[in-house]
Amino acid sequence: MGNNQIAENNQRLKAKVAVVTGGASGLGLAIAAMMARDGARVIITDIQGDQQQAEKIGVEFIRHDVTDERQWITILDRIDKKYGRLDILVNNAGISGGGTGTNPETTTIDQWRKVQATNSDSVFLGCKYAIDYMRRSGGGSIINMSSIAALVATPFITAYGASKAAVRQLTMSVALHCATTGSKIRCNSVHPGQIRTPMLEKLFVEAADQMTVPVAVAEQRFLERIPLGQFGTPDDIASMVVFLASDEAKHITGAQFVVDGGMQLNG
């Protein structure tokens, strides 16, 4: 293998334009940084963060609430006017909801609606409006951030699990619609287990509070559920997302990719 091939491998997303929602923190930030290193022009969108933060990883920032349909229309139009194409959309923004302890009886309808709006409605809106831009770009890749929570029961974060299952199901419909209408757009879902980000740190604190144990004990209980014996890193998820965004994954659509250190094996 010559040097040229190594260079090509390091630029798997060269000349592609990518949007990553929820890109100011955790997984979105790692995904955006890896995509930029792989040659993409990346736009992160979020309700927090700013252009100064984005520039540190060589990407652009747009303020965007993913639950707002009007903002989706405006922002995708703005990106189209600036770059003339859209190749990749990572629907990553999400919230865990009312915290641990929100079981099917204690979850309020307001908590339920907020979680569905942020985690599920937003993915629908992103797919709905990105498809046409990608079609006009000659194809594209949509990656929807679901969770292991879509695949197992989650009675301690009821609304969250349901919202992520909706993302999984929507992904299949988008994938088949795009494939059978000849648009060369792929759509896949990624299912992280427990990855160290601000979202997971918050869950440790909430779980500790609920179990009335120190945070370190709660953290240990989460860790015990991972057969590989360690929490995932944001780059573990970014590697999967970059692969799915790249042409290396050109024959993959409608599929679910679990990145969980074997956690699903524990049911």
Ligand X SMILES: NC(=O)c1ccc[n+]([C@@H]2O[C@H](COP(=O)([O-])OP(=O)(O)OC[C@H]3O[C@@H](n4cnc5c(N)ncnc54)[C@H](O)[C@@H]3O)[C@@H](O)[C@H]2O)c1
- Decide: is 147 part of the binding site for ligand X (CB under 6 A): yes
Q: Which of 47, 205, 215, 255 binds ligand X (CB under 6 A)?
A: 47
CB atoms within 10 A of CB 146: 30
Angle at 81 between CA 57 and CA 83, to 5 degrees: 40
Closest to ligand X by CB, 137 or 203: 203
For residue 44, the minimal CB distance to ligand X (Å) is 9
Distance, CA of 191 to CA of 169 (rounded, Å)? 13
Tokens of 214: 């120190």
Neighbours of 78 (CB within 10 A): 12
Nearest-angstrom CA–CA distance, 178 and 160: 27
Nearer Cβ to ligand X (134/241): 241
CA dist., res. 192 & res. 92, Å (int) = 11
Query: Per CB under 6 A, does 22 bind ligand X?
Result: yes
Catalytic, 160? Answer yes
Angle (CA) 115-119-122 rounded to 5° is 120
Site membership for ligand X, residue 116 (CB under 6 A): no
Using rule CB under 6 A, residue 24 touches ligand X: yes
| Residue with smaller CB distance to ligand X, 119 or 137 | 119
| Spatial strand order in the sheet of 140-145 | 60-63, 41-46, 17-21, 88-91, 140-145, 185-192, 256-259
204 vs 202: CA distance, rounded Å: 5
Q: How far is the CB of 87 from ligand X (least distance, A)?
A: 21
Residues in contact with ligand X, counted by CB under 6 A, come to a total of 28
100 makes contact with ligand X (CB under 6 A): no
Identified binder of ligand X from the candidate list 20, 145, 207, 263, rule CB under 6 A = 145
Q: Does 240 bind ligand X (CB under 6 A)?
A: no
> Is 200 an interacting residue with respect to ligand X (CB under 6 A)?
yes
State which amino acid sits at residue 124.
Answer: F
Q: Residue 161 interacts with ligand X (CB under 6 A)?
A: no
Minimum CB–partner distance for residue 217 and ligand X (Å)? 19
* Candidates 2-10, 33-41, 86-94, 205-213; binding stretch for ligand X (CB under 6 A): 86-94
Catalog residues that contact ligand X under the rule CB under 6 A. 21-22, 24-28, 46-48, 64-67, 92-95, 118, 145, 147, 192, 194-195, 197-200
